């Protein structure tokens, strides 16, 4: 076989292979995507127990709803009776306080919702959302404006804002990004929110 004939045959064979491969690829079904499932799996779920926070149930529910509506990487859910919760919430007569997180799944922090702040005129829902913010890893930002949830009591008794601002949201999102809360050290300090 001459070189010319060999090259013509080889070129024709390559053309047939490429045409077949292109047709197969063009008709192939798209690969199934697992992005939504992976994203859902990356959400960190933290359970809270408010069974010892009598009188605060509505404020806690509103504070939880505020966090759940404003962050995507972590979800707060009420623990079923008998199930260990990561966030234990109790009512006290003192000033509100909480252990600084970010709390990890399987670990535990305590939130104390103190009636002394309510007696002085502070909003219960803001208090609950603020203390939950500590559990999620946010320190106080005192003094600060009412637009900062973590400014706490320094925003004054007229402040009713229970929504984390964009900076606070971003910090919590980063603590729980990709389900990696286990890789972020829990601070554990108790932060008392007296003025």
Cα–Cα distance measured from residue 189 to residue 194, given in angstroms and rounded to the nearest whole number: 15
Secondary structure (3-state) at 72: coil
Instruction: Determine contact, residues 102/176, Cβ cutoff 8 Å.
Output: yes
Instruction: Determine contact, residues 53/73, Cβ cutoff 8 Å.
Output: no
* DSSP 8-class letter at 103: -
CA atoms within 13 A on the CB side of 175: 27
| Active-site residue, 112 included | no
Catalytic residue among 86, 112, 131, 168: 131
Q: Which of 80, 45, 192 is nearest to 130 (CA)?
A: 192
Cα–Cα distance measured from residue 28 to residue 24, given in angstroms and rounded to the nearest whole number: 6
Catalytic positions, please? Answer: 131
């Amino acid at each position: 076989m001459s070189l010319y004939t060999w090259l013509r045959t080889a070129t024709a064979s390559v053309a047939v292979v490429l045409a077949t491969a292109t047709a197969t690829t063009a008709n192939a079904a798209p690969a199934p995507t697992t992005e939504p499932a992976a994203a859902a799996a990356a959400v960190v779920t933290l359970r809270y127990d408010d069974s010892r926070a009598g009188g605060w149930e509505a404020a806690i529910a509103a504070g939880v709803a505020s966090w759940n509506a404003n962050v995507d990487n972590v979800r707060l859910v009420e623990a079923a009776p008998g199930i260990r919760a990561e966030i234990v919430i109790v009512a006290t007569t003192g000033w509100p306080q909480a252990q600084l997180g970010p709390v990890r799944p399987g670990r535990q922090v305590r939130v104390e919702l103190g009636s002394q702040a309510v007696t002085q005129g502070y909003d219960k829902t803001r208090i609950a959302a603020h203390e939950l913010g500590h559990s999620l890893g946010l320190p106080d930002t005192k003094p600060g404006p009412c637009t900062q949830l973590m400014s706490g009591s320094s925003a004054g008794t007229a402040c009713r804002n229970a929504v984390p601002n964009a900076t606070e949201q971003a910090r919590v999102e980063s603590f729980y990004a990709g389900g990696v809360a286990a890789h972020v050290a829990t601070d554990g300090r108790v932060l008392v929110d007296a003025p």
